[in-house]
Structure 1
Amino acid sequence: MPRITAPTVAEHREAQERALLDAARAVLAEGATEIPGFAEVAARAGLARSSMYQYFRSRQHLLTALIEDAFPRWSERVEAAMAEAGAPDQRVLAYVRANLDLVADGEHAIAAAIASIAPRDVIAESSAAMHRQLIAPLAAALAELGAQDPAAMADLINAVVHAATRQLEKGADVAAVRQHTEELIAPYVERAAARGIPTNSGNNTP
């Protein structure tokens, strides 16, 4: 029987599965062109190959688990950064910074590797869901700033972020790319914040 390294069996299993997923993510980050093999993943996690079958029935099952792990991880990190920022103008800038930080940390490379391996319909569905989840708080912040078309403005900001992402993937300096991106977006949100959040002039209720 394997040695339990956590207070409970459930926590032990969760920790082991997390270790295996992180090992598989490391393989993907190095530019893997196929689903990571069980032997390689287990070795990186410091576990026996047979341990893989306790958590994943097949390499396809491992890929599904990686997809289910990667996309929510990205969304949650961006949403957390925005929630901490407070004011709507700062939430927009936090959105930009968090996305670029994720790219710099290698998360985009992992997502790109998954996208190149997984079936197109699966990736399309997961990507669309993540896009909707990311756009919602960004559009909400832009609406608070008085944007006439928050969704369209959110798409434009995303276009700038995607261009910055391509620069980072080509090896550009992270600090420089982040500075240039904020120089494009910050003036808009700062002007919008200075104008004040629009109110209904006909409503005098405090």
Structure 2
Amino acid sequence: MPKIIGSTLAEHREHVRTQLFGALSRLMTESGFDAVSLADIAAAAGVGRTSVYNHFPDKESLLISFIEHETSKYVADLRASLADVEDPEKQLRVYVREQINLKTVYHLAPGPDLRSVVSHGTQLRLRDHVSQVAELLAAILRAGIASGRLPDQDVSAVVPLINSCLSGRTFPENEPDRSRAIDATESFVLRAVGLREGVLTPA
């Protein structure tokens, strides 16, 4: 019988899942999701291969649980960051910066895009989690339109355009280049949704 880590079976299961999530993240960063096996992940996590199947029947099930975990945490953190911010412009600034600083699991690795190497069913599940983040941005835009701070616009069309802008480029790691790039992107997004540079509220 495998050794139980923690005072309860629930704590043991949570510990094993955390170890597997960390191993999956590291291996995807190094090699890409398609290049690693469940056995590789188990070995990197220090978990017996047969024990993994008590938690996940296959690699894609592990991936979905990992993304659920990461997305839930990110959405909760983003909601907390937005909780005391009422002005739509300032909410957009928060959203832009949080998205830029997010190291998304969809682009962790060398190799093919993650969504191109998983099954159709898993692609749909991945899309569900992306939509949680997109809905937060949509809510910000709708509130801005309702308040008159933003011009009326097709929110469903604008949201993917903004997110593509944020996820489609690499930002420098060194300062001051990183801050300059983030500031420029922030201003671009604000202007794109109808907030003119001359009337922007200081951050």
Q: Structure 2 matches for 1:149-188, cutoff 5 A?
A: 149=152, 151-152=154-155, 155-156=157-158, 159-168=161-170, 174-186=178-190, 188=195
Find the residue that maps to 2:96 and give its secondary structure.
Answer: helix
Q: 1: CA distance between counterparts of 2:200 and 2:154?
A: 16
TM-superposed deviation, 1:134: 3.1
TM-superposed deviation, 1:192: 6.9
Q: Does 1:38 align with 2:38?
A: yes
Match of 2:17 in 1: 17
Q: Structure 2 matches for 1:58-73, cutoff 5 A?
A: 58-73=58-73
Q: 1: CA distance between counterparts of 2:169 and 2:53?
A: 39
TM-score, normalized by length of structure 2?
0.71
User: What are the superposed Cα offsets for residues 93-150 of structure 1, whole Å, 9 maximum, x if unpaired?
Assistant: 1111111010xx3544149843122224542454256335333332244235422325
193 and 85 in structure 1: CA distance in 2 versus 1, 3 angstrom threshold:
same
Query: Percent identity at matched positions?
Result: 23
* Residue among 116, 133, 136 paired with 1:134: 136
Q: Which runs of 5+ in 1 are unaligned?
A: 195-206
TM-score, normalized by length of structure 1?
0.70
Cα RMSD after superposing both structures: 3.6
Higher helix share goes to which structure?
A: 1
Match of 1:79 in 2: 79
- Greater radius of gyration (CA): 1
Q: Which runs of 5+ in 2 are unaligned?
A: none
5 and 174 in structure 1: CA distance in 2 versus 1, 3 angstrom threshold:
farther
Find the residue that maps to 2:53 and give its secondary structure.
Answer: helix
Q: Does 1:148 align with 2:165?
A: no
> Quick one: which amino acid aligns to residue 109 of structure 1?
H
